Chain A
């Protein structure tokens, strides 16, 4: 089954854009890319998802490459409250969560 690869950690200055990459080179044609984040001691929270086209909502933007082998989650103006672990997930019949990227927003 297709899996994702994310850097283990990243830092971002407060107010700047945070760009979180995800590789999913074995994604299949009917799999969506989902992003969640988990703030310490809470359950994961849905952020955004997409299949082929770029997507934007009130929380973030999702950029998916044309070959669908990678994607980037963009938090346009990171705040301290965005410090969390971010998970990039593919869906077919089941979710596969990895260890995600621990984003630290620095004042």
Chain B
């Protein structure tokens, strides 16, 4: 089975701190994604990566950056955390499905981040 793991289930940080959220997948998937999930807003795509060192902005990239130095690892970085970044963060990965879209995504368990 595909496994997507995230470094923490719960995280509490202070305003202004630099925050790293790590995601690792073990199935050699090309694509990796970071979403945030907020009540009433559903899942929103922050960034995705379709290859090592490649990244594309999603719907809400402001205030975030990402890093993909190795195929299996995709990091989400909050350069200076703010209270409005308190949220559930979900990582996902998928195989490359070519021109017509992305294959099914496998999600991690999520990291609930609280910024005080």
Contacts and interface: CB of A to CB of B under 8 A. Distances in A.
B43 interface: yes
> What is the interface of chain A mostly: helix, strand, loop, or mixed?
loop
Interface residues of A, number: 24
A5 to B, nearest CB: 12
Contacts, number: 59
Contact of B109 (A36, A43, A95): A43
A89 to B, nearest CB: 9
A95 to B, nearest CB: 6
Interface in B13-50: 33, 35, 40-45, 48
Contacts of A87: 42-43
A21 interface: no
Interface of B: 4, 33, 35, 40-45, 48, 56, 58-59, 90, 92, 99-102, 104-110
